[in-house]
Structure 1
Amino acid sequence: MTTTAIRRPRSLAPSTTRGLLTCGILAGPVFVLTGVVQGLTRAGFDFTRHPASVLSNGSLGFVQITNFLVTGLLTIAAAAGIRRVLPGRWGPRLLTVYGVGLLCAGVFRADPQDGFPAGTPAGPPASISWHGTLHFVAGGVGFAALVAACFAIGSHLTPARTWYSRISGSLFLAGFAGVASGSTSPVVTLGFWAAVVIAFAWLAATSVHLLSRGESR
């Protein structure tokens, strides 16, 4: 008795992979631009005092919640695309964990703090809610996975891109460590914003590189 394997058309896999990798290019601009526009237009928000997470509060909080959810899905899609073109499995898995962390960050809202939204007392929250705790846990797990993904995915790239991946992961780790320490210094807060941009720039650059490498074959 013989069986016949069902194969996908040759054109389907490359086009699907290109679409998934394109999600990796879009994730950063979507997250950063949406966050920056909100930060510039919402009363009481200060880039030197507030992380993007607090934008999930207030009457327009749904915008940032949606931003987390959309970016999480784009990141998970990018991880699936990277898995199709690189031999390693841990890197895409870790990047998927980061994407899931973004989804959880959207579901579990951060607590209001330090004057945002308008009317919130200055300083950190007097107490941490259950959803604020889960937001922090999801962020911590997701950020750790992102750092590890930079190293794991970078190990399968050219030497120059390996170092770029390692440096990007290290800078993001430094930025996250700063805010995780509880420091309210404007330098630390702005440093974390910069770290987020660096990490998403790495994801976009890696996705572009893998796209161009596939098209050159």
Structure 2
Amino acid sequence: MSVSSRSGARTAATGRRAERRLLVCAALAPPLFILAFLVEGATRGAGYDPLRHPVSALALGEYGWTQRANFVLCGLLLLAGIAGLRTALRRRGAGAWAPLLLAMAAVGLVGAGIFAADPLSGYPLGTAPVPSPATATGTWHSLFSTPVFTALPAACCVLARHFATAGRRGWAAYSLATAAVALTCFVLASVAFDQNATLVPYGGLFQRLTIAVSLLWITAVSVDLLRRRDHQRGS
């Protein structure tokens, strides 16, 4: 083997290892983020109700830095992972739209951590259900949060088309179901946070379902790409 061939082989091997590490980042970021806000919500006390209050409200108060850090770290880890997803998906002809949409959601998580939300649904204690007018920081938080709840379902739909074209009907159905559940729960959470008397006690639950089903879909796709990648290498 020539020197150039050996160099090319080493470069390819390094690229494969880097891609695998990035895919692992994409797989781990969602469950770590979800676990962190579930633990924080269960232990916050001081009037915080995970069924009623949004995840973003955990960024308020004395220990709010923990959720702000959770937003930023998950977003950065997911951004790194999307680089691996982009390479793996492009190799399978999936195009660039899904990674772009996922990157928008990841940037949204980072921004949501930098800009804290306004109080909502009576948390922190003593605040109005919907403070008005919104602060500049709260407005920026809402703007950054929007792609987390919209770009992720859009990415599900984009990859559902790819999966269907590739004959992977189960993955196509799972992706479409994820988008449908996420968008439905997002609408219900939005109505609840607008203080609808029937839904307001469950706004936090609906929002958590939206986040969980969307982000865990990223984990599932990343694990599948890792599994297929390792299987192809072993063949």
Fold conserved between structures, TM > 0.5:
yes
- Alignment of 1:210 with 2:225, yes or no, is yes
- What amino acid does structure 2 have at the position aligned with 1:38? E
Aligned partner (choices 63, 67, 75) of residue 64 of structure 1 = 67
Partner of 1:172: 182
Between the aligned residues of both structures, percent identity stands at 35
| Alpha-carbon displacement from aligned partner over 1:120-173 (angstroms, at most 9, x marks no partner) | 325222331111111112111332111111111233332210110111011111
Matched, 1:190 2:200: no
Q: What residue is the counterpart of 1:97 in the other structure?
A: 104
Unaligned runs of 5+ in 1: none
RMSD after superposition: 1.9
- State the Cα distance separating 1:47 from its structure 2 match: 1.2
Task: Write the mapping of 1:132-171 to structure 2, written as runs, cut at 5 A.
Answer: 132-157=138-163, 158-171=168-181
Q: Size of the alignment, in residue pairs? A: 213
Contact 1:114 1:120 in 2 (8 A): no
Would you tell me which structure has more helix in proportion to its own residues? 2
1:175–1:188 Cα contact (<8 Å) kept: no
Render the CA deviation track for 1:87-129: whole Å, top value 9, x for unaligned.
2110001100000011111111101233323x33252223311
Give the TM-score taking structure 1 as reference length. 0.90
Matches of 1:187 and 1:56, distance apart in 2: 19
Task: Name the residue aligned to 1:11.
Answer: 13
Q: Which runs of 5+ in 2 are unaligned?
A: none
Residues of 2 paired with 1:102 and 1:74: CA distance?
10
Look up the match of 1:82: 85
Q: TM-score, normalised by structure 2?
A: 0.84
Higher Rg: 2
Contact persistence 1:113–1:120 (CA under 8 A): no
Residue of structure 2 in register with 1:48 after alignment = 51
Contact 2:23/2:85 (8 A) holds in 1: yes
Q: Deviations over 1:44-94 (max 9, x none)?
A: 210121110011111111100110001111221222111111121100011
Q: Report the secondary structure of 2:162's partner residue.
A: coil
Q: 8 Å contact 1:99–1:142 — kept in the other structure?
A: yes
Structure 1 residues 106 and 14, CA gap change in structure 2 (3 angstroms): same
Consecutive aligned runs of 4 or more in structure 1 exceeding 4 Å deviation: none
**1:163 counterpart letter in structure 2:** A
The whole-number CA distance in structure 1 between the counterparts of 2:80 and 2:126 is 37
Deviation string 1:176-210 (CA, Å, 9 cap, x unpaired) is 12223324523343122112111122111111000
